[in-house]
Each structure stands twice: as C-alpha cells, then as structure tokens.
Structure 1
Amino acid sequence: DLHSHSHLSSSMVYAYDASENVEGTVTLYLPQGKKADHLGIKVQFFGRIDMQHHSTEGRPHYDFISLSKELAPPGPLYQPKTVLPFHFRNIEKELETYRGRNISVKYFVRAVVERKFLPPIHQEQEVIVQICGTEPEVNEAIKMEVGIED
C-alpha cells in the first residue's frame, strides 16, 4: 500500500521571483518491507485564475500555465523512502499571486502517483510568485523660475 505523506506544514509557503526556476523534490514513503506498484509518477506545475462568482465556459477556474513532467516510469517501489527531484525551468510567470474578493491568481505544484484500479494519489503545494521590478531612478530636483506679469 502506497501512502502519501508530507513534511510540509500548512503554514509553509515558498516564494519565487517571476524569473526564477521552480524546483524541489517529491518524497514518497512506504511502510518498511512493503512493495507498491504504480503506473507512473509525475509532477505538474499550474498557474490558475480562480473566479469565485463567475465562470469561464462553465468552469470556476482558468489554467494559464499547465505543465507536466514524468518523474518515474510505471513499476514497483521497494524503498521505504524515495526522493525524486524536479525542475521547471524558464517558465514565464507573468502574473503575481493575488487574492481578491472575486478573483485570485495562484501557482501550485502537484505530485501524482497513478495506480491500477485505485484513484491516483496526489498532493499539492502552493507557491507564491512575486514580480520584483527595479527601483525607479531618483529624479534630480528641477529648478523652475516663475514670472508673473501685471
């Protein structure tokens, strides 16, 4: 039996600059001495706009980024702990993370373990995206002479 387990607390959030690569590891845990067969392990990266009161084509959200990478082909897992690194490089993240009353913009990574005859195991981790621009140049003081005629 394959169990999904995470060391991340719900208060832990990872922040990225819009130009940074998103990378990390997916860690799978098995009970000691157990084996688990799977139909593939993948990691996905999403950029999503959630609309609380409106929907686009009947859907309450719109995925403007949807990427997927295979981490492991189908086969058995034997180790009590399996660590699989992932990298999403050169992703154009043009919107900042935002939470508003009617709409929100969020990014998240989802790990998925496909299983035969059982629903897939998946876990998501939200990431914050900030767009850090350069500071504007300091303008020099402007001297002005104003003349008033009578």
Structure 2
Amino acid sequence: MRMKNYLLGAFKPSCNVSIAFSDGKTRKQVPLKKGNGQTVLVPLFQSQENITGKVTIDPLQGKKVDHNGVKIELLGQIVRELDVPGEIYERKTYPFEFSTVEMPYETYNGVNVRLRYVLKVTISRGYAGSIVEYQDFVVRNYSPLPSINNGIKMEVGIEDCLHIEFEYNKSKRRESTGSGANTHVETETLAKYELMDGAPVRGESIPVRLFLSPYELTPTHRNINNKFSVKYYLNLVLVDEEDRRYFKQQEITIYRLQETT
C-alpha cells in the first residue's frame, strides 16, 4: 500500500501552471460553453490580432520541477518554445506572443462539432508524465454590410383556396458534418413564432420582426476545411382546419456586424 501511494504521489503535478493574457483585465469577456456543459467567461479576439501574455509556473512548496522543455501552442497553428530542459525551483514567468494570427473562422459550439481556439502549455517531464494546462478564448469576426441584400419573398398556399405571401426585408439552423456519402445533418429549431390564428382576410398584412440577440448564433459557415457547414433557414408553415401542413423554406445568410458601444 505504501509503495502504491508513493507511485501515485510521484506522478502528481509538482507545480501550478497559469496562463494570463496581457490585456486580460481590459479585454472584453464573453461566455463559452465547454464540453462538460459548463459556461465560463473567456477573452474575445478577432482575426489578425496579436495574442500576448505570460505563462507562470509555480512549484509547490518544497518541490522542484525537472523538465525536458516548456512550450506553448496555439493549437493547430503555432508552437513557441519557452524554455530549454532544466529545473525550476521557484516561480518562473515566461512572456509569449503570437503576432497577427490568422483566425478566419468563428468559435462554434454545435451538436456534433466544435470549432475551438485554445492555448496549450506543456511541461515535458519524460517518465513522470507531462504537465499540461489549457486556456480557451473566443474568436468573432465582423463583416461590412453586403452591397446586395435583396428582400426575401416566400409563398405558400392551397390551390384555388388560399395563398399567403411572406416578405422579409433583410436577406432553423442546420449543421452538417463530413462530406459525400458520410455527411451527417443535424437540424436545430432556434425559435418559433405564430403569425396568425383563424381565418385570414384578403389583403391582410401582418408585420413580423425577428430579434436575433437572444439566440446563440454564428455567421453562416460553408464547408470549413471540408469538415462541416452551418446554415440557417426560415420555415413558413401553413396549417389548415384538417391539420394538414404546407411548407416553404428559404435559406438565409447570417453575418456579424461590428458591435456598437
């Protein structure tokens, strides 16, 4: 039993590792839902920004950290070596910088796919097992107003009986993963609105305004690295007295405008 406890203790982390952004106290924080369902506040970045900060390694009291090197990674893109092999006896801080990082795609948390941006610090220790620390952050990219933004017109009706025309003056979320025969599609209903109930009056107009801010939306994603797409649709449903349903669907493109303060 003593030997087992000794072995377990030998593989416990002998230090605390933290990652801090240089402008962490002033940079905007946004909520991010993690894989375990918990929501945390993380820094918000845009593509082409510099990502700078410090990594701090703080050995536990009476402990030292023997290592084969320390590095930080912006996962999937860049690696920075922070230290050569050696020993750490007391708190040590390493500054880091990733300059004008190309991050063309927004952070996305879907049903079957997640697009994440993560800083990863690794203290390599050979037989003792590496010590790893992660720090998520969110990326949002903004677009100018499109030069062409035609109105949307949708029509649904019952032949020789009823005809409804729906107009939306600004040009369901559907997530697909894989490609070809391996494509998997997941459809999520984001909101439902009842436009009218009862017999319609000829020529009647019903104003409709959809507020998007309550929903966790991202810009439309189209075939990101041949891995997944995210598309948005407006569905118009007409239900008659016999509960028969008539459908019309229109894809819309979602883009993000620069936030105003």
Fold agreement, TM-score > 0.5: yes
Which runs of 4 or more aligned residues in structure 1 lie more than 6 Å from their structure 2 counterparts after TM superposition?
none
Q: Which structure has the larger Rg?
A: 2
The equivalent residue for 1:116 is 126
Structure 2: runs of 5 or more not aligned? 1-12, 21-38, 148-261
State the match for 2:114 in structure 1.
104
Relative to its length, the structure with more strand (as a share) is 1
> Which residue does 1:83 correspond to in 2?
93
Structure with the bigger percentage of helix: 2
Aligned length: 117
TM-score by length of 1: 0.68
Question: Which residue of the partner structure matches residue 3 of structure 1?
Answer: 15
Match of 2:56 in 1: 27
Q: Distance in 2 between matches of 1:77 and 1:14?
A: 29
CA distance in 1, matches of 2:41, 2:83: 26
User: In the alignment, which residue of structure 1 is the partner of 2:68?
Assistant: 39
Q: What value does the CA root-mean-square deviation take over the aligned residues?
A: 2.3
Q: Residue 68 of structure 1 aligns to a residue in which SS?
A: strand
Name the SS for the 1:13 alignment partner.
strand
Alpha-carbon distance between aligned partners in 2 of 1:117 and 1:101, rounded to the nearest angstrom: 38
SS at 1:18 equivalent: coil
In structure 1, the gaps of 5 or more residues are 47-64, 138-150
Q: With CA pairs under 8 Å and 6+ residues apart, which has the higher RCO, 1 or 2?
A: 1
Offset at residue 91 of structure 1 (A): 1.9
Letter paired with 2:78: L
Contact 1:42–1:70 under 8 Å retained in 2: yes
Give the TM-score taking structure 2 as reference length: 0.41
